[in-house]
Amino acid sequence: MSFEYISIEGVSHRFLSRNRQPTTALTDVSGLFPAGKVTSIVGPSGCGKSTLLLIMRGLVAPAQGQVRFLYRDAAGALAPGEAPRMATVWQSFNLLPWRTVADNVAFGLELQGVPLAERRERAAEAIRSVELAGFENHYPGQLSGGMKQRVGLARGMVMSPDILFLDEPFGALDAQTRLYLQEQLSALVERHAKTVVLITHSIEEAIFLGDHVVVMTARPGRIAASLPVDLPRPRDLDVQKDKRFGELFAEIYGLLRDEVRKAMMN
Ligand SMILES: Nc1ncnc2c1ncn2[C@@H]1O[C@H](COP(=O)(O)OP(=O)(O)OP(=O)(O)O)[C@@H](O)[C@H]1O
Ligand SMILES: [Mg+2]
């Protein structure tokens, strides 16, 4: 049995609040996100991207619809199966303030019961990969926003999950660090052929890292388009000079522009 797709099937969700009108965050979202590929999701602020992530992670039950993980059996048929191993880099970092950088990164491994020596080794490697060597014993309160974000990234990568969910993983970084880590992530993805779902506000980042780009509409969010990124791998940042990159950018920007205006008006 091989894991083939994250299948999002007619998912709608609304948030109820005591003193306000309910907020419809998602309406009838359906899509197949292929395993071993990077699915980038772009859409205006508030369109429900983080909500969709919570639903895919099984942390929020959708009002309607479902998310299933599809596997191909020996006979070639697709059937739903149990959730693969997943890790998430949250938009708001979610670091534990009373733990050091090293202990934050190793936290998930600890929950899995990984022995101490292996935990230390894997955490150290992940910390090096986000260029934070030397800060192992710092506490989150002693770090800048960008550094906290890199700890969050290390904490996701250290798990070597089957699916890595990334919610704006580079949002708080300066432009240079962002470019550097985008290249690192791209190399990682190519080496391990990971299933990655990347939420980002940056069209360039969505294209550079993605195998396809899913464009969502203004709230209530729906999937407006899914565009394959037909640029060769391995990619480095020079791919942004490719004519095809410019065409994809224009196409996605065209789809997003009206949605962003709508999102700002409601
Ligand atoms: N816990 C909650 N209670 C009430 N409303 C919520 C809650 N979480 C999200 N919402 C609402 O649902 C909508 C979608 O929110 P969500 O965070 O999924 O958007 P997003 O696309 O991730 O936005 P951004 O790009 O700014 O991160 C928004 O209108 C938001 O106000
Ligand atoms: Mg969000």
| All structural domains of the chain | 34-58+162-265 (3.40.50.300)
Give me the pLDDT at residue 101, please: 97
Listed residue (180, 183, 177) closest to 234, CA to CA: 183
Between the CA of 191 and the centroid of ligand 1 the distance, in Å, is 34
Per residue in 42-55, pLDDT (tens digit) is 999 999 999 999 99
Per residue in 157-208, pLDDT (tens digit) is 899 899 999 999 888 788 888 898 888 888 888 887 789 999 999 999 999 9
pLDDT at 218 over 90: no
Give me the pLDDT at residue 205, please: 95
Round the CA-based radius of gyration of the chain to a whole number and report it.
Answer: 19
pTM: 0.93
Mutate to test the pocket of ligand 1, among 51, 52, 90, 93 (most ligand atoms within 8 A of CB): 51
Structure tokens at 142: 């002693």
How many CA atoms, within 13 angstroms, populate the side-chain half-sphere of residue 240? 13
Between the CA of 49 and the centroid of ligand 2 the distance, in Å, is 5
Contact between 166 and 196 under an 8 Å Cβ cutoff? The reply is yes
**Nearest protein Cα to ligand 1, atom 4:** 15
Per residue in 117-127, pLDDT (tens digit) is 999 999 999 99
* Residue list, CB under 5 A from ion ligand 2: 50
Average pLDDT over residues 79-83: 95
Give me the pLDDT at residue 121, please: 96
Give me the pLDDT at residue 1, please: 86
